[in-house]
């Protein structure tokens, strides 16, 4: 790694192949190496037998071709002596009078190692046993090749700038226990595959899924390059696949069936891979074979601070429409299944929920309706309570009424103005003093009403607060923070908005659809301060705590990826380029960490609720965090970024 954020730039390249012309192939590999170096790539992999061509057939047994390929590699190493990019190319190698299909790892004039293919396919269209011997089990050996002596064997891994990587060849990935799996549990975070996989109908999608799955199972990055233009098409066609995946996510895929060199480049988040492995205490295999680690000593490559990977602005919301549709369905299903279990366990057939006409309570009500449908219960058993107060607007009030009625639930309207005014008198609070007590007393009054109504009807109070509010502590302790089951507890605000919108467009019609879409368009507000004279909402949450799309980004990066504040700020500036400048991002990042640490006591007392995604805040499993944890170190790093911006 050569940057402060823990990334390593890699590439999968597919050069044109000239069958049995090792020198021309070496020239093509040189062009790839030069282009990769210009792009700041630290390691580039090329296809299987890329120096001679996978479809050479019996020609690989010719002494001429074997010696040519060795000389071609020597020439390539000499030509790249001033290039610190590590290249991985394929070629035939004779060792102890046996012929091996190998990967040569070289860089800056040095041959760092040769890895033979372990699994030799001899089925279907493959007849590789005609030429190749398996390298499985070859360990602790060296070879003199291309004018240098280097390690040889299937027990090799490599270390470059503190990052270990492994290499396997084509079929090695398709077997039940690939060599890359053993390399990963021994520390390899980058896995490279030189392949020559012929194309067939529907095979491409399976290949992509296999690569993604292997990167997920090994908790690594998988970089795959397969033969393309130039390979013989006597019986097979090679489309040229270059694929890079990381932790199950595909970062880049090349075009296929093109007739020119191509290269896919991506920055691998090595730091995150290490973090994920550290957090997963089952990432080990006691019987994994011991590996030799070759330390590669090459110059570091300096490149600009750009990040060669897509940074999603909304980590919790799939960008693809089809994926988002599936995501929303799944979240509703998980919420409903969780609440159904709780209702059945308590023999409860009534749910009480406060409906404000805002996003959170609307989503909660929709999920409760799904639950009652799942259990075959009458929706009349869902008591939607609207509790108009000092800040309630006509817009939210009317939407609350319409949604409750259109969903077929029972409506109860219980105003809280008089009760709160009496409470102000009781505690000696000036009603014109817009203090925290003024706001929180309303939230607690509403919670008391819901709890008491639930007691009267033998019902269960369903909490409506979402995960973003819990993260920021934007909830009244023992007010809306409390319920008997928090159905939205792990749904972030950005996803809440999409889910309500999805429900409106896919499962609602008429008045209900109109009301739901208006809820989506309504500014987020607790409505605890009196409305403006125009009747509009006076209190907008995001004006106070900051944009939820930023806070959800911060939350994901801090909890799921455990990034430093500096890395979060850098990534947010990329993800939200043109939306928020860096100063704005840093301002709200400071607010995020301040509130996140200071409000843990509210999360420590949060009620049960279903976990729907990879991030959760439950003190019973997802976030074991003391209420007294200090924020100082995180805020100091944010302040350093602020100082740099001010100086700039």
Strand, helix or coil for residue 572: helix
Beta bridge partners of 19: none
Six token digits for residue 598: 């200071």
Six token digits for residue 173: 């990935």
The question of whether 170 is a catalytic residue gets the answer yes
DSSP 128: G
- 252-261: long-range contacts at Cβ-Cβ below 8 A with a sequence spacing of 24 or more? 252/12, 253/208, 254/12, 254/14, 256/199, 256/204, 256/228, 257/228, 258/228, 258/229, 259/16, 259/229, 260/16, 260/229, 261/13, 261/14, 261/15, 261/16, 261/28, 261/31, 261/32
Decide if 256 contacts 224 (C-beta within 8 A). no
Phi, psi of 602 (to 5 degrees): -70, -40
56, 170, 328, 409: the active-site residue:
170
Helix (H) or strand (E) run with residue 121 in it: none
48, 70, 445, 549: the active-site residue:
48
Q: Which ranges constitute the DSSP H helices of 151-280?
A: 179-185, 203-217, 270-279
Beta bridge partners of 7: 269
Decide if 445 contacts 416 (C-beta within 8 A). yes
R_g of the chain, CA atoms, integer Å: 30
Q: How many separate helices (H) and strands (E) can be counted in the chain?
A: 19, 20
Gap between the Cα atoms of 42 and 513, Å rounded = 53
Gap between the Cα atoms of 195 and 167, Å rounded = 11
Find, among 244, 194, 191, 185, the residue nearest to 92 by Cα.
194
Decide if 392 contacts 532 (C-beta within 8 A). no
- Give Cα 612 to chain centroid, integer Å: 15
Tell me how far CA of residue 202 lies from CA of 199, 322, 352, in angstroms: 9, 20, 51
Contacts of 312 (CB under 8 A, 6+ apart): 319, 575
Tell me how far CA of residue 188 lies from CA of 65, 252, 532, in angstroms: 33, 20, 60
Gap between the Cα atoms of 529 and 391, Å rounded = 5
Decide if 105 contacts 86 (C-beta within 8 A). yes
Helix (H) or strand (E) run with residue 505 in it: helix 493-507
56, 70, 102, 117: the active-site residue:
117
DSSP codes joined into one string, 455-477: HHHT-EEEE---HHHHHHT-S-T
Task: Give catalytic residues, as residue numbers.
Answer: 48, 117, 170
């Amino acid at each position: 790694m050569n940057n402060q954020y823990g990334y390593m730039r890699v590439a999968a390249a597919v050069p044109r192949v000239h069958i049995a012309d090792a020198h021309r192939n070496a020239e093509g590999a040189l062009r790839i190496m030069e282009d990769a170096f210009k792009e700041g790539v630290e390691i580039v992999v090329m296809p299987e037998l890329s120096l001679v061509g996978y479809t050479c057939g019996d020609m690989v047994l010719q002494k001429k071709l074997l010696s040519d390929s060795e000389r071609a590699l020597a020439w390539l190493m000499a030509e790249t002596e001033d290039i610190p990019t590590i290249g991985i190319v394929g070629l035939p190698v004779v060792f102890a009078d046996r012929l091996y299909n190998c990967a040569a790892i070289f860089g800056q004039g040095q041959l760092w190692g040769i890895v033979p293919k372990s699994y030799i396919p001899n089925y279907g269209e493959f007849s590789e046993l005609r030429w190749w011997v398996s390298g499985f089990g070859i360990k602790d050996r060296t070879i003199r090749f291309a004018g240098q002596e280097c390690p040889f064997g299937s027990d090799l891994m490599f270390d470059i700038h503190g990052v270990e990587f492994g290499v396997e060849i084509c079929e090695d990935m398709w077997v039940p226990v690939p060599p890359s799996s053993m390399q990963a549990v021994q520390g390899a975070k980058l896995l490279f595959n030189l392949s020559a996989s012929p194309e067939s109908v529907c095979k491409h999608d399976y290949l992509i899924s296999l690569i993604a799955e292997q990167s997920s199972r090994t908790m690594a990055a998988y970089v795959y390059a397969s033969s393309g233009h130039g390979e013989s098409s006597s019986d097979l066609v090679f489309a040229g696949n270059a694929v890079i995946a990381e932790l199950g996510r595909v970062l880049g895929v090349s075009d296929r069936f093109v007739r020119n060199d191509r290269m896919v480049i991506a920055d691998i988040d090595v730091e995150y891979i290490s973090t994920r492995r550290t957090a997963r205490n089952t990432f080990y295999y006691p019987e994994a074979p011991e590996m030799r680690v070759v330390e590669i000593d090459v110059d570091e490559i300096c490149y600009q601070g750009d990040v060669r990977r897509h940074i999603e602005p909304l980590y919790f919301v799939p960008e693809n429409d089809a994926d988002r549709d599936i995501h929303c369905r799944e979240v509703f299903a998980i919420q409903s299944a969780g609440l159904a279990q709780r209702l059945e366990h308590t023999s409860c057939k009534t749910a009480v929920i406060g409906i404000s006409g805002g996003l959170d309570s609307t989503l909660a009500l929709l999920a409760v309706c799904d639950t009652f449908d799942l259990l075959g219960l009458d929706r009349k058993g869902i008591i939607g309570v609207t509790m108009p107060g000092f800040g309630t607007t006509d817009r939210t009030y009317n939407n609350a009424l319409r949604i409750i009625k259109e969903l077929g639930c029972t409506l109860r309207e219980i105003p809280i103005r008089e009760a709160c005014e009496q409470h102000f008198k009781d505690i000696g609070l000036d009603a014109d003093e817009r203090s925290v007590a003024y706001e929180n007393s309303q939230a607690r009054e509403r919670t008391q009403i819901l709890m008491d109504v639930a007691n009267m009807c033998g019902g269960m109070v369903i909490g409506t607060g979402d995960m973003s509010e819990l993260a920021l502590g934007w909830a009244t302790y023992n007010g809306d923070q409390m319920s008997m089951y928090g159905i939205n507890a792990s749904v972030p605000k950005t996803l809440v908005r999409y889910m309500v919108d999805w429900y409106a467009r896919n499962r609602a019609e008429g008045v209900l659809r109109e009301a739901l879409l208006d809820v989506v368009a309504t500014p987020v507000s607790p409505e605890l301060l009196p409305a403006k004279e125009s009747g509009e909402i006076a209190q907008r949450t995001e004006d106070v705590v900051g944009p939820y799309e930023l806070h959800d980004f911060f939350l994901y990066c801090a909890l799921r990826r455990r990034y430093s504040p500096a890395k979060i700020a850098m990534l947010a500036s990329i993800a939200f380029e043109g939306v928020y400048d860096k100063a704005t991002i840093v301002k709200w990042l400071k607010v995020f960490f301040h509130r996140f640490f200071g409000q843990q006591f509210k999360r420590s007392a949060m009620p049960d609720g279903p976990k729907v995604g990879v991030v959760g805040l439950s003190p019973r499993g997802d976030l074991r965090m003391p209420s007294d944890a200090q924020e100082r170190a995180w805020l100091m790093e944010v302040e350093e970024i602020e100082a740099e911006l001010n100086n700039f």
